[in-house]
Structure 1
């Protein structure tokens, strides 16, 4: 890396059970900043609990998007579609649970589905493509398992896998169509577990207290997005949502001076200046006698 002294940055390739294990157990490693699955994060936490190391863990998310009855749908819908399906949903900050106020549910879902159907899935080297394949066959099979759970539970798949025909091109790779599911119970695996794919569940809610409780009734706590014209309501609910990042009338707005990280099963610690200093450096107290 230009401008960086030799040895400051070392890129080590290998599987977690070998390369990762060697790194987290090495006596010269005193800080571990990990981004990945909750399961792996907890393994790192368990294996380093007796070691003098600092931990910063950014783990999984099952992020809620809450669409209130006074939301500006013209701005909300394209941004929310992007938040659900960008990078085939393989983003820890992706929106995978949508709660839409009953008064606007029908209007929202019609416009939302129309927008989703405009997404071109295909060859990532084609400039017109918006979504490419998922990372592996193993991951594709995992995502499809959740879609089968939806079918078995008599949920409604409005578009995407199992209801939208695939082109021959898409059958040749690990492609999954953007999939929108409704009529899903809050206790379903679809609502509780991180799928990490182009799948979103859309639910109806009736009042603020209800949606706060439902959004928080989960083990994850990474991010949420709120859509409303009432900024008083937005700030009030932002305080009550149990997560590390809240967006109001936007998504994926990042300022690297702001704290970033999750709570619950979504991680521990905060990064972003000046908070990264607490992770990657140590404070030292030096006293000097002038007598």
Structure 2
């Protein structure tokens, strides 16, 4: 596939390519241009040229185009899901769910098309004032490989509906679905240059976009170290920035929790997308009085997970997306064994057999009795490994859950309203779930605190991130 700039499919200025590999088989499935600084600049110029025309259309006209695009995406859901599974690795059912999520987000922002208006403010003895909300101009978005379609929608939905134009840099190993979705937007009537896709390395294309003086806003989703680099570069231009970074989400299981529901929540919350989700359950704190029963039920559930190529039927978990993640997960589990940092209850190995020889598969893994200094509790573990810590009280659980630099999500499982209230108030996270985990609807603000980022995606709050507020004072 080629980059999408100014409504056209183009090659990179440098003439080089990136290989896109199926993580389940190791096969080459496509190649995309390895974008350069010049490509990023051309894309920004195309977005800048398209801005005035797009901003002058009514919000209702913009909504009509996005709504048509969502409809086309739904019609082509099966085809898009296969493409997503081939480049990302997730099971086909999860890929279909993500494609539906893309359409859901676009349709949600279509419904907000008339909501970003200003206010009339009486000012006693000084007349009155009114406020006007205006689009920023050219925005840039940098997205990761774990949920490329959904996170693309999180960026383009509020950006485009509010009248901005956009340059998007997809992850280098999962750009194909993004490029196809961009072509669908054009098919739905989006003007040339309103959205542009530049493929290539983050340190080249991404940094060029962040530093461009014509780019007014940066929305980045990815790991914390890169996010800090984005913030540093954006600061010199006083750009608006949203950073949705890493997480080490805790799940707290109280002794009055519905254990059947909690086990199901832990299975989905940890092993969905092979554990490669920012808000995945990454640390499990369970009351001692129910720990044995809970861990036994969870072990059974993990052993029953079916691992394989996401394109095959009845698969619960696909491979890790890339070799780097695969090596990292193997290293973490090796540390547990070599340093005696817990007991592996189940999993912990690369599956045996020739079928796995070329894919980045790793068994879903449960580790109990993990000490506080373990990397499993200190780092953002982006993969199918779940550490379990036993606790005596809710206070102990909250204290240990908060012992991290991250603050993206957290969940507490209890039937007790007071425990639910205390957990909601005292857990340090941008989103708290009660008796559920992982789900993020388009209607609700999403983002973190601490090193999990700044700003919010989704909901009406996201629109304000893409608009400048101007106040006009009138003396009477």
Q: TM-score, normalised by structure 1?
A: 0.96
Q: Give how far 1:287 is off.
A: 3.3
Instruction: Give the Cα–Cα distance (whole angstroms) in 1 for the partners of residues 222 and 302 of structure 2.
Output: 27
| 8 Å CA contact 2:351, 2:362 repeated in 1 | no
Is 1:111 paired with 2:297?
yes
What is the aligned counterpart of 1:161 among 348, 356, 363?
Answer: 348
Residue 96 of structure 1: aligned partner = 282
Residue 55 of structure 1: aligned partner = 241
Instruction: Give the Cα–Cα distance (whole angstroms) in 1 for the partners of residues 353 and 347 of structure 2.
Output: 12
- For residue 344 of structure 2, give the secondary structure of its aligned residue in structure 1: strand
1:22-54 alpha-carbon deviations (Å, 9 max, x no partner): 110101111101000001000111112221200
Residue 15 of structure 1: aligned partner = 201
Q: Give how far 1:255 is off.
A: 2.9
| 8 Å CA contact 2:284, 2:387 repeated in 1 | yes
1:259-290 alpha-carbon deviations (Å, 9 max, x no partner): 2100111111112222112211111112345x
Superposition pairs of residues 81-230 of structure 1, within 5 angstroms: 81-154=267-340, 155-162=342-349, 166-230=352-416
Question: Max radius of gyration: which structure?
Answer: 2
Instruction: Give the Cα–Cα distance (whole angstroms) in 1 for the partners of residues 380 and 430 of structure 2.
Output: 17
Instruction: Give the Cα–Cα distance (whole angstroms) in 2 for the partners of residues 97 and 29 of structure 1.
Output: 38
Residue 273 of structure 1: aligned partner = 459
- For residue 255 of structure 1, give the secondary structure of its aligned residue in structure 2: coil
Number of equivalent positions: 289
Q: Give how far 1:125 is off.
A: 0.6
Superposition pairs of residues 211-290 of structure 1, within 5 angstroms: 211-288=397-474
- For residue 99 of structure 1, give the secondary structure of its aligned residue in structure 2: strand
What is the aligned counterpart of 1:78 among 261, 264, 274?
Answer: 264
- For residue 32 of structure 1, give the secondary structure of its aligned residue in structure 2: strand
- For residue 396 of structure 2, give the secondary structure of its aligned residue in structure 1: helix
Instruction: Give the Cα–Cα distance (whole angstroms) in 2 for the partners of residues 200 and 38 of structure 1.
Output: 21
Instruction: Give the Cα–Cα distance (whole angstroms) in 1 for the partners of residues 445 and 198 of structure 2.
Output: 28
1:185-224 alpha-carbon deviations (Å, 9 max, x no partner): 1121110101200011011000011111100011111001
Instruction: Give the Cα–Cα distance (whole angstroms) in 2 for the partners of residues 165 and 37 of structure 1.
Output: 28
Structure 1: state its 5+ residue gaps.
none
Q: Give how far 1:75 is off.
A: 1.3
- For residue 34 of structure 1, give the secondary structure of its aligned residue in structure 2: strand
Structure with greater helix percent: 2
Q: TM-score, normalised by structure 2?
A: 0.59
Instruction: Give the Cα–Cα distance (whole angstroms) in 2 for the partners of residues 264 and 207 of structure 1.
Output: 25
Q: Give how far 1:165 is off.
A: 5.5
| 8 Å CA contact 2:221, 2:244 repeated in 1 | yes
Q: CA RMSD in A?
A: 1.4
- Greater relative contact order structure (CA < 8 Å, 6+ sep): 1
Q: Give how far 1:113 is off.
A: 0.4
Structure 2: state its 5+ residue gaps.
1-184
Q: Give how far 1:76 is off.
A: 1.4
- For residue 278 of structure 2, give the secondary structure of its aligned residue in structure 1: coil
